């Protein structure tokens, strides 16, 4: 079977929409993407995230892992492994600790950042309002958003139409 042609490579430089990440060949994910990973408990969602971070190999200026269940971040061996290997990774376990999107409107706005929402489906509508701006406009602030969940139909991502890549494990 023939390979798919990337027609953006055929455009003159001034018309190219996205610059490829330096480790594109390792993971084939653009910066500022919205990624949804869905699978049952134990299916490999966190493993695929750690693999993506590993394949990105230093591309991200900042990595933030958000899990609103403290036990899931503290009990997850792969998050503990990541914390040992990458001490600069920030872990957020309370909705009250969540920064506002506007907090990232600074001189580092255009630097690639990874924001992970790990299984946040139990949040109330008011709590979802805190993360909704990241889902809608995070890419404009340099964020690649990785959403991990158990059931796609249960993902309360608001009424907005989000352009995202999804894979189901």
Confidence of residue 72 (pLDDT cuts 50, 70, 90): low
In a domain, 81, yes or no: yes
| pLDDT for residue 162 | 55
User: How is 113-135 classified by DSSP, letter by letter?
Assistant: EEEEEES-TT--HHHHHHHHHHH
Report the SS3 class of residue 64. strand
CA 150 to chain centre: 16
Mean pLDDT in residue range 39-65: 87
CATH of the domain at 73: 3.40.50.300
Rounded distance between C-alpha atoms, residue 89 and residue 79, angstroms: 10
| pLDDT for residue 101 | 92
- Answer yes or no: is pLDDT of 157 > 70: no
> Does residue 145 contact residue 98 with C-beta atoms inside 8 Å?
no
Mean pLDDT in residue range 11-28: 66
Q: How many CB atoms lie within 10 A of CB 168?
A: 11
B/e letters for 17-38, b = 16+ CB within 10 Å, e = fewer, are eeeebeebeebebbbbbbbbbb
Confidence of residue 56 (pLDDT cuts 50, 70, 90): confident
In a domain, 117, yes or no: yes
Rounded distance between C-alpha atoms, residue 145 and residue 36, angstroms: 8
| Widest pairwise Cα distance in the chain | 51
Per DSSP, helices labelled H in 28-158 are 45-56, 70-75, 77-85, 125-137
| pLDDT for residue 68 | 74
Rounded distance between C-alpha atoms, residue 165 and residue 1, angstroms: 23
In a domain, 110, yes or no: yes
Looking at the 3D structure of the chain, how many domains does it have?
1
In a domain, 5, yes or no: no
In a domain, 134, yes or no: yes
In a domain, 26, yes or no: no
In a domain, 25, yes or no: no
Rounded distance between C-alpha atoms, residue 75 and residue 169, angstroms: 21
In a domain, 61, yes or no: yes
Range of the domain at 94: 36-98+106-153+160-168
Which tokens in the block code for residue 80? 């503990």
């Amino acid at each position: 079977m023939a390979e798919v042609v990337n027609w953006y490579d055929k455009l003159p430089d001034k018309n190219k929409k996205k610059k490829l990440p330096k480790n594109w060949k390792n993971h084939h994910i653009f910066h500022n993407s919205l990624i949804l990973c869905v699978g049952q408990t134990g299916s490999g969602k966190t493993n695929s995230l750690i693999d993506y971070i590993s394949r990105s190999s230093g591309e991200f200026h900042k990595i933030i892992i958000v899990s609103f269940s403290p036990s899931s971040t503290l009990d997850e061996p792969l998050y503990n492994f990541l914390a040992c290997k990458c001490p600069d990774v920030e872990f957020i376990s309370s909705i009250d600790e969540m920064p506002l999107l506007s907090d990232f409107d600074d001189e580092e706005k255009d630097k690639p950042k990874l924001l992970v929402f790990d299984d946040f489906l139990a949040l109330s509508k008011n709590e979802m309002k805190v993360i909704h701006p990241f889902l809608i406009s995070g890419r404009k602030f340099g964020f690649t958003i990785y959403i991990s969940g158990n059931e796609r139909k249960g993902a309360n991502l608001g009424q907005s139409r989000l352009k995202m890549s999804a894979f189901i494990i």
